A and B are shown apart, each in its own frame.
Chain A
Amino acid sequence: MWDHEIKAMASSHAIIASSVFMATVLPAVFIQGFSVYGTHLLWLYSVTGAVSVVNIAVFWLLGISQPTKKNTLGYKLSRLVRSCMYLLLSCLFYHTVVVLYGAPLIESALETFSLAVLLTSLTTLRCLCVLGPNVQAWIRVFSRHGAMSVWDTSLQITVACSLIGAWLGAFPIPLDWDRPWQVWPVSCSLGSVVGYLTGLVVAPAWIHFHRKQLTYKSK
Chain B
Amino acid sequence: MKRLPILCLLLWLCALFYVGIYLFVSGFLLVRLEVNRTSACDDVLQPGGRQRDFCGAKPRFKRTLLLIVDALKIDFARYDPANKTPRPYENKLPVLEETTSLRPTHSRLYPFRADPPTTTMQRIKGFTTGSLPTFIDVGNNFASSAILEDNIIHQFGQIGKRLVFMGDDTWESLFPKKFQRSLPFPSFNVKDLHTVDNGILQHLYSTMVGDDWDVLVAHFLGVDHCGHRFGPDHPAMGQKLTQMDGVIRAVMERLQNDTLLVVMGDHGMTDTGDHGGDSQKETDAALFLYSPTPLFPGPPSQSEPEVVPQTDLVPTLALLLGAPIPYSNVGQVLLPLFPEAQVQGAAAGLSQLEALWVNVKQVNRFLETYSSMARDIPPESLAALQAHFSRLSSAYLASSPASSPASSPASSPASRQELVESMQAYLTAVRETCRATWARFNPHKMAAGLVILALACLLCFMVSQASGALGAGGRGLLTVPVATAAAVAVAAAAGQAYTRGSVELTWCVAPAVLVSELVMLRGVRRWVGAKVEAKHWSGSAHLLLPPLLVAGLRCASLLSDSYVIAEGRVVTFLLLSLGLYVPVRLHWDGHLLPPPHDPQKPPAGLLPPPPPPALVRRESYVLLGCLGLLVGGAYLSLSFHACREEQGACTPSPFLSPLARMQDSRLKNLHYGLSLGALALWTHLLRRWLRHYGNLNASGGAVMAARWALPLAAVGLGLNWAVSGTPEGSFRNLAELIGAAQVALPRALYALLGLAAALLWADPLTVFLKTRGPAPGRGSRALATAAPPPLPRYRASTGISPHAELQHLIPQIYQRMRRSLEDSEQQLAADREVDTRPAVEAYGLGTVYSAPLLLLCGLLGLGLLLLHPEGMAVSFLLLLLEMAALLHIHASAISLAGLQGVHSGDFSVPWTPLVLWALASSQFFHATGHLPTFSSIQWGAAFVGFPGGHSGTLLPATLVALNTFSSHILFAVACPLLLFWPLVCEVRGGAGGGGGAAGQEEGEDAVMEMRLRENPQQFSSALLQLATRYLTVLGVQVLASVCAAAVLRRHLMVWKVFTPKLMFETCGFLVSSVFLLVGVGLVLRTDLAVGRWFRRLLHADASR
- A residues touching B (Cβ–Cβ < 8 Å)? 99-102, 139-140, 142-146, 167, 170, 174-176
From A101, A145, A170, contact of B590 by CB (8 A): A145
Pairwise interchain contact B638-A167, C-beta atoms closer than 8 A: no
From B562, B569, B587, contact of A102 by CB (8 A): B569
**Binary CB contact string for chain B from 552 to 573 against chain A (1 if under 8 A, 0 otherwise):** 0000000011110110011011
CB-CB under 8 A from A100, the residues of chain B are 576, 631-632, 634-635
CB-nearest residue of chain A to B1053: A176
Pairwise interchain contact B587-A143, C-beta atoms closer than 8 A: yes
Pairwise interchain contact A139-B565, C-beta atoms closer than 8 A: no
**Binary CB contact string for chain B from 582 to 596 against chain A (1 if under 8 A, 0 otherwise):** 001001111001001
Pairwise interchain contact A102-B638, C-beta atoms closer than 8 A: yes
CB-CB under 8 A from B562, the residues of chain A are 174-176
Sorted from nearest, which 5 A-B pairs have the closest CB atoms?
Answer: A174-B566, A175-B562, A176-B562, A174-B562, A143-B590
CB-nearest residue of chain B to A167: B577
Contact-residue bracket for chain B: 20 to 34
CB-CB under 8 A from A102, the residues of chain B are 569, 572-573, 638
Pairwise interchain contact B588-A143, C-beta atoms closer than 8 A: yes
CB-CB under 8 A from A140, the residues of chain B are 593, 596
- Please name 16 further chain A to chain B contacts, defined as beta carbons within 8 Å, in addition to the given A102-B573, A174-B569, sorted by A numbering: A99-B635, A100-B635, A102-B569, A102-B638, A139-B587, A139-B593, A140-B596, A142-B584, A142-B587, A142-B588, A143-B587, A143-B590, A144-B588, A145-B590, A167-B577, A174-B563
24 interchain pairs (CB within 8 A)? Answer: A100-B576, A100-B635, A101-B576, A102-B569, A102-B572, A102-B573, A139-B587, A142-B588, A143-B587, A143-B588, A143-B590, A143-B593, A144-B589, A144-B590, A145-B590, A146-B590, A167-B577, A174-B563, A174-B565, A174-B566, A174-B570, A175-B560, A175-B562, A176-B562
CB-CB under 8 A from A174, the residues of chain B are 562-563, 565-566, 569-570
For residue A164, give the distance in angstroms from its CB to the closest CB of chain B. Answer: 10
CB-CB under 8 A from A99, the residues of chain B are 635
CB-nearest residue of chain B to A174: B566
CA distance A176 to B563 in the complex (A): 9
CA distance A67 to B593 in the complex (A): 26
Pairwise interchain contact B573-A170, C-beta atoms closer than 8 A: yes
**Most chain A CB atoms below 10 A, which of B561, B566, B573:** B573
CB-CB under 8 A from B569, the residues of chain A are 102, 174
**Most chain B CB atoms below 10 A, which of A99, A101, A170:** A101
Q: Provide the main secondary structure of the chain B interface.
A: helix
CB-CB under 8 A from A142, the residues of chain B are 584, 587-588
For residue B489, give the distance in angstroms from its CB to the closest CB of chain A. Answer: 45
CB-nearest residue of chain A to B560: A175
CB-nearest residue of chain A to B631: A100
CB-CB under 8 A from B572, the residues of chain A are 102
Given contacts A143-B587, A143-B588, A174-B566, contact A101 B593 (CB under 8 A): no
Given contacts A174-B562, A174-B569, contact A143 B589 (CB under 8 A): yes
User: In residues 131-174 of chain B, which contact A (Cβ within 8 Å)?
Assistant: none
CB-CB under 8 A from B590, the residues of chain A are 143-146
**Most chain B CB atoms below 10 A, which of A100, A140, A145, A167:** A100
For residue A94, give the distance in angstroms from its CB to the closest CB of chain B. Answer: 13
CB-nearest residue of chain A to B598: A217
For residue A91, give the distance in angstroms from its CB to the closest CB of chain B. Answer: 19
CB-CB under 8 A from B638, the residues of chain A are 102
CB-CB under 8 A from B573, the residues of chain A are 101-102, 170
CB-nearest residue of chain B to A105: B635
CA distance A102 to B570 in the complex (A): 9
For residue A169, give the distance in angstroms from its CB to the closest CB of chain B. Answer: 12
For residue A163, give the distance in angstroms from its CB to the closest CB of chain B. Answer: 10
For residue A84, give the distance in angstroms from its CB to the closest CB of chain B. Answer: 26
For residue A14, give the distance in angstroms from its CB to the closest CB of chain B. Answer: 29
CB-CB under 8 A from A175, the residues of chain B are 560, 562-563
CA distance A100 to B632 in the complex (A): 8
User: In residues 400-415 of chain B, which contact A (Cβ within 8 Å)?
Assistant: none
For residue A152, give the distance in angstroms from its CB to the closest CB of chain B. Answer: 14
**Most chain B CB atoms below 10 A, which of A102, A139, A140, A142:** A102
For residue B279, give the distance in angstroms from its CB to the closest CB of chain A. Answer: 15
CB-CB under 8 A from B577, the residues of chain A are 167
CB-nearest residue of chain A to B569: A102
CB-CB under 8 A from B632, the residues of chain A are 100
CB-CB under 8 A from A139, the residues of chain B are 587, 593
CA distance A130 to B126 in the complex (A): 73
User: In residues 614-672 of chain B, which contact A (Cβ within 8 Å)?
Assistant: 631-632, 634-635, 638
CB-nearest residue of chain A to B576: A101
**Most chain B CB atoms below 10 A, which of A99, A143, A145, A167:** A143
CA distance A51 to B635 in the complex (A): 32
CA distance A212 to B792 in the complex (A): 67
CB-CB under 8 A from A101, the residues of chain B are 573, 576
CB-nearest residue of chain B to A173: B566
CA distance A101 to B569 in the complex (A): 9
CA distance A176 to B593 in the complex (A): 44
For residue B251, give the distance in angstroms from its CB to the closest CB of chain A. Answer: 46
CB-CB under 8 A from A170, the residues of chain B are 573
CB-nearest residue of chain A to B590: A143
CB-CB under 8 A from A144, the residues of chain B are 588-590
CA distance A146 to B587 in the complex (A): 10
For residue A141, give the distance in angstroms from its CB to the closest CB of chain B. Answer: 10
CB-nearest residue of chain A to B564: A174
CA distance A100 to B580 in the complex (A): 12
For residue B194, give the distance in angstroms from its CB to the closest CB of chain A. Answer: 42
CA distance A176 to B560 in the complex (A): 10
CB-CB under 8 A from B589, the residues of chain A are 143-144
CB-CB under 8 A from A143, the residues of chain B are 587-590, 593
CA distance A144 to B384 in the complex (A): 71
CB-nearest residue of chain B to A144: B588
For residue A174, give the distance in angstroms from its CB to the closest CB of chain B. Answer: 4
CB-nearest residue of chain A to B647: A174
CA distance A101 to B570 in the complex (A): 10
CB-CB under 8 A from B560, the residues of chain A are 175
CA distance A99 to B638 in the complex (A): 12
CB-CB under 8 A from B565, the residues of chain A are 174
User: In residues 717-745 of chain B, which contact A (Cβ within 8 Å)?
Assistant: none
For residue A139, give the distance in angstroms from its CB to the closest CB of chain B. Answer: 7
CA distance A140 to B634 in the complex (A): 29
CB-CB under 8 A from B631, the residues of chain A are 100
**Binary CB contact string for chain B from 530 to 569 against chain A (1 if under 8 A, 0 otherwise):** 0000000000000000000000000000001111011001
CA distance A99 to B573 in the complex (A): 11
CA distance A166 to B634 in the complex (A): 20
CA distance A167 to B576 in the complex (A): 11
For residue A55, give the distance in angstroms from its CB to the closest CB of chain B. Answer: 24
CB-nearest residue of chain B to A136: B593
CB-nearest residue of chain B to A99: B635
CA distance A23 to B203 in the complex (A): 80
CB-nearest residue of chain A to B567: A174
For residue A131, give the distance in angstroms from its CB to the closest CB of chain B. Answer: 16
CA distance A99 to B587 in the complex (A): 24
For residue A61, give the distance in angstroms from its CB to the closest CB of chain B. Answer: 31
CB-CB under 8 A from B561, the residues of chain A are 176
CA distance A140 to B566 in the complex (A): 38
CA distance A144 to B561 in the complex (A): 40
For residue A173, give the distance in angstroms from its CB to the closest CB of chain B. Answer: 9
User: In residues 756-777 of chain B, which contact A (Cβ within 8 Å)?
Assistant: none
CA distance A167 to B634 in the complex (A): 18
CA distance A102 to B576 in the complex (A): 10
CA distance A167 to B549 in the complex (A): 14
CA distance A10 to B950 in the complex (A): 75
For residue B920, give the distance in angstroms from its CB to the closest CB of chain A. Answer: 16
CA distance A139 to B586 in the complex (A): 12
For residue B639, give the distance in angstroms from its CB to the closest CB of chain A. Answer: 10
CB-nearest residue of chain A to B577: A167
CA distance A100 to B579 in the complex (A): 13
CA distance A170 to B570 in the complex (A): 10
CA distance A146 to B584 in the complex (A): 13
